[in-house]
A and B are shown apart, each in its own frame.
Chain A
């Protein structure tokens, strides 16, 4: 069953002559229980796409449907994990997650909500940092809190917006494994946006490239039918992994070169046609 769907969606920013089209005619659908990765270069409109899916932005044209509902308002059922964590710096780890839990489980007794917060903190291995403020945590730990906050809302779809983009390679690997494990356990629908092809291959069932903007569109998609659970080390020697990887990377490079050509061509065109003017009389009176 399709849970989240984009139909012919376009989005521009700015007005008048300063208007730039970021996304053009995007068609995309996410099936229930799927793990899909959208891979694109930086600046190609990935975050805009994510904000459209989450409902934080409204499309200029086309429609976004969540469970059949047209252009829905943002809500906890589409749990967004922000690229820059977006934790409230004046609240502790516990309080940050509690804020979400209080909102989603408003009708449950306080004790149950408390249990729920602790469960998700434990799930991301942060129990020792329960009382710490985000400012006292490393980037990786902050992203775990952010992940726990989103998971605690028990969303129907998990939207991960370059969640590991700002982390170092080692922390990144650890968190990728954790995300894989969490997904393995409860198989929620996940949409991951990333610029890391390996990350996408490790986690996703399907990879959809986002062509570079302006006016970005989705490219041809790749199925990733590698067996799960996937182990990083084993994948390195897997022939089909290498094959998909090369195909995706090759495709991405190709679309990037194409877009460069197009941009160069448009830039070369003279934008203003000068009128032919001949002075008739130059005498100063």
Chain B
């Protein structure tokens, strides 16, 4: 049991929790306590120091919206934002319940009218009932909604980037000619900032995505943010995939020759598995880049998401503004950390111990 937990911790990159398990199991408690002291004590001290410096700074820095918010203010605003979300949800539910009961009343009245024979009046009532059912609750998206939008967008962009980068990377890795041909393009576009891509993407999406808004699957803003993320985040995956494929062990390729594996079997059974750890290292960097790019893109383009939230707060200029922006900063950080952790787990699950 404890061995299984330890293996799980190892696979998820949470080795620092291992001493807890060992402590409960009862092996060498002194050593385990020392390790816990280092792996938890040291970060804790650093974090407390950070909070201390922040508090001092907030007491002394005066902005036009009042003092720089202290840790406590930020914590309070985080609670306010979450409460606002749930209040909003509750209001939404209440609104829909009200509309439904209104519609039911209207329909009941319509039935009575039909029985009395005045169908024209009844039809009018039914029309009104339908309108009540179709009515949408309108409110600005809450903080949690913005987070979910951002996550959806970053994943969409990341998936598109991976679908483009991995095949091209495999091609570059297998063929020296293709690699030499494409390499200058990669070098040229890799360092381009998301803010430079964004206007081009927005204009192109505006020109090419002409489906009527009522029939469209995605909103234009969603597509332009996601594509900007893709354009900026595909490079690390591409470069790493190409490198991973190119550095497949020559002996393994000799095995493929001796076994007379076909091209496709060779790629599937030898090249891809061998390159997977490198590929996932690239994907991990890509997702991190994508998340950073997304926030900037949302801010600049006023596309819904966390970036827009930060921008709106900045424009708002109320006394809670700064504290709410700081909440957003921490949220972005925590989500970025979680995404990274997720990729580490995936990366470890495809890694293999190098034999030989």
Please give the residue numbers on chain A whose beta carbons come within 8 Å of chain B beta carbons, in ascending order: 54-56, 73-76, 78-80, 82, 84-91, 99-100, 103-104, 133-137, 142, 153
Q: Are B255 and A86 in contact (CB under 8 A)?
A: yes
With the chains together, A100 CA to B270 CA distance in Å?
13
Q: How far is the CA of A91 from the CA of B355 in the complex (A)?
A: 11
* In-complex Cβ contact of B260 among A76, A85, A133 (8 A): A76
B354 within 8 A of A: yes
Question: In the complex, are the beta carbons of A56 and B254 less than 8 A apart?
Answer: yes
Q: Of B257, B260, B261, B276, which contacts A56 at CB under 8 A?
A: B257
Known pairs A87-B355, A88-B269, A89-B352 / 9 extra A-B pairs, C-beta < 8 Å:
A73-B260, A74-B260, A80-B254, A82-B255, A89-B356, A90-B274, A103-B261, A135-B352, A135-B353
Is the CB–CB distance between B354 and A99 below 8 Å?
Answer: no
A54 touches B353 (CB 8 A): no
CA–CA, A87 and B274, complex, Å? 12
Question: Is A134 touching B355 in the complex (CB atoms < 8 A)?
Answer: yes
Contacts of B249-290 to chain A: CB distance below 8 A: 249, 251-252, 254-255, 257-261, 265, 269-270, 273-274, 276
Closest to A99 in B: B269
Q: Would A88 and B260 count as touching, CB distance under 8 A?
A: no
A135 contacts across to B, CB distance below 8 A: 352-355
B353 contacts A136, CB within 8 Å? yes
> Which A residue's beta carbon lies closest to that of B259?
A103
* CB closest chain-A residue, reference B257: A74
B255 lies within 8 A of A88 (CB): yes
**Interface residues as binary, B210-221 with A (CB distance below 8 Å gives 1, 0 otherwise):** 000000000000
Contact A90 B251 (CB under 8 A): no
- When C-beta atoms are compared, the residue in chain B nearest to A137 turns out to be B355
A133 pairs with B353, CB closer than 8 A: yes
B residues at A contact (CB < 8 Å):
249, 251-252, 254-255, 257-261, 265, 269-270, 273-274, 276, 352-356
Which residues of the partner chain A approach B276 to less than 8 Å between Cβ atoms? Answer: 90
Shortest 4 CB-CB contacts between residues of A and residues of B: A135-B353, A134-B355, A86-B251, A90-B352
What is the distance, in angstroms, from B251's C-beta to the closest C-beta of chain A?
A: 4
Q: Which of B258, B260, B269, B352 contacts A54 (CB 8 A)?
A: B258
For B355, list chain A residues within 8 Å (CB).
85, 87, 89, 133-135, 137, 142
The smallest C-beta distance from A57 to any residue of chain B, in angstroms, reads 10
Among A84, A88, A137, the residue within 8 A (CB) of B270 is: A88
Q: List 18 A-B contacts (CB under 8 A).
A: A55-B257, A56-B258, A74-B254, A75-B258, A75-B260, A80-B254, A82-B251, A82-B255, A85-B355, A86-B249, A86-B254, A87-B356, A89-B352, A89-B355, A90-B352, A133-B353, A135-B353, A137-B355
| Neighbouring B residues of A54 by C-beta, 8 Å | 258
Q: How far is the CB of A223 from chain B (nearest CB, A)?
A: 31
CB distance from A104 to the nearest CB of B (A): 8
Q: Closest Cβ of chain A: how far from B266's Cβ, in Å?
A: 11
Cα distance, A73 to B255, chains bound together (Å): 13
Bound complex: CA A257 to CA B352 (Å)? 45
Residues of A within 8 A of B257 (CB): 55-56, 73-74
Which residue of chain B has the shortest Cβ distance to A153 in the bound complex?
B259
Residue pair B269, A84 in contact (C-beta under 8 Å): no
Chain B residues closer than 8 Å to A134, beta-carbon distance:
353, 355
| Chain A neighbourhood of B261, CB < 8 A | 103
CB-nearest residue of chain B relative to A135? B353
Residues of A within 8 A of B265 (CB): 103
Q: Which of B258, B259, B265, B352 is the most central at the interface, judged by chain A CB atoms within 10 Å of its CB?
A: B258
- Residue on B with the closest CB to A87? B355
Q: Closest chain A residue to B255 by CB distance?
A: A86
**Nearest Cβ distance between residue B231 and chain A, in whole angstroms?**
32
A133 touching B255, Cβ below 8 Å:
no
Choice from A79, A84, A136, A137 contacting B251 with Cβ under 8 Å: A84
With A90-B352, A135-B355 as known contacts, state yes or no: A103 contacts B260, CB within 8 Å.
yes
- Bound-state CA distance A55–B283 (Å) is 38
Q: Chain A's nearest CB lies how many Å from the CB of B59?
A: 56
Q: CB-CB < 8 A to A137: which residues of B?
A: 355
* B256 CB → nearest A CB, Å: 9
With a cutoff of 8 Å between Cβ atoms, the chain B residues found around residue A91 in the complex are 273
What residues of B have a CB within 8 angstroms of the CB of A78 in the complex? 258
The answer to whether B353 and A82 touch across the interface, beta carbons within 8 angstroms, is no
Closest to B249 in A: A86
